[in-house]
Amino acid sequence: MSYPDTYRYTREHEWIHVENGVGTVGITDHAQSTLGDIVFVEAPKVGASVEKSKVFGSVESVKAVSDLYAPASGEVTSVNDELATAPESLNTDPHGAWIMRIQLSSPAEIDGLLSAADYEKFVSEETGH
C-alpha cells in the first residue's frame, strides 16, 4: 500500500492530514498490519488537549495493546465514534479510517513530521524490507 502524499507521518506510525488548521489523525497501514486484528480503540474525549509526541489513546489488537502518540498539539474537536462498534475499520482502511480531529495549536509542528517518501524509507529501514 502506498502512503498518501498529503499526509505527514510519525516514527510511531500515526498519520495526520491537515486542512484549514484541523488535523485528522489515524494509524498507518504498517501499524495496522503489525498489530493484526484491531478489537478496541481508546480515543480522547472531545475538548481534551493533546500534546505532540505524548500518548493520547491506545489501540488493542488480538496480539497487544499499543499506545497512540499525538503527531501535533491541539484540542480534540471530534472523535470517530464508528470505531466503538467497528474498530476493524482501522485494518480495512487505515488511511481513510481516522481516530480523532484536532484544532492545531502550533501548525508549525507538522513541518517536523515525515513525508510519505521519508516514512516509507523509515519503515523499510525499521523492518529490513
| pLDDT range class, residue 1, cuts 50, 70, 90 | low
For residue 1, being part of any structural domain is answered with no
For residue 115, being part of any structural domain is answered with yes
- pLDDT above 90 covers a percentage of the chain that reads 95
For residue 47, being part of any structural domain is answered with yes
Asked if residue 23 has pLDDT above 90, the reply is yes
- CATH number of the domain bearing residue 52: 2.40.50.100
Q: What is the pLDDT of residue 127?
A: 84
For residue 18, being part of any structural domain is answered with yes
| pLDDT range class, residue 126, cuts 50, 70, 90 | confident
For residue 36, being part of any structural domain is answered with yes
For residue 97, which of 36, 14, 2, 34 has the smallest C-alpha distance?
14
Asked if residue 128 has pLDDT above 90, the reply is no
For residue 32, which of 79, 77, 83 has the smallest C-alpha distance?
83
Q: How many domains does the chain have?
A: 1
For residue 46, being part of any structural domain is answered with yes
Report the predicted TM-score, pTM, of the whole model to 2 decimal places. 0.96
For residue 129, being part of any structural domain is answered with no
Over residues 47-101, the pLDDT tens digits come to 999 999 999 999 999 989 999 999 999 999 999 999 999 999 999 999 999 999 9
Torsion angles phi and psi, residue 112, rounded to 5: -85, -5
CB neighbourhood size of 70 (10 A): 26
Q: Backbone dihedral region of 6: left (phi > 0), alpha (psi from -120 to 50 degrees) or beta?
A: alpha
Domain range for 72: 8-121
| pLDDT range class, residue 39, cuts 50, 70, 90 | very high
For residue 58, being part of any structural domain is answered with yes
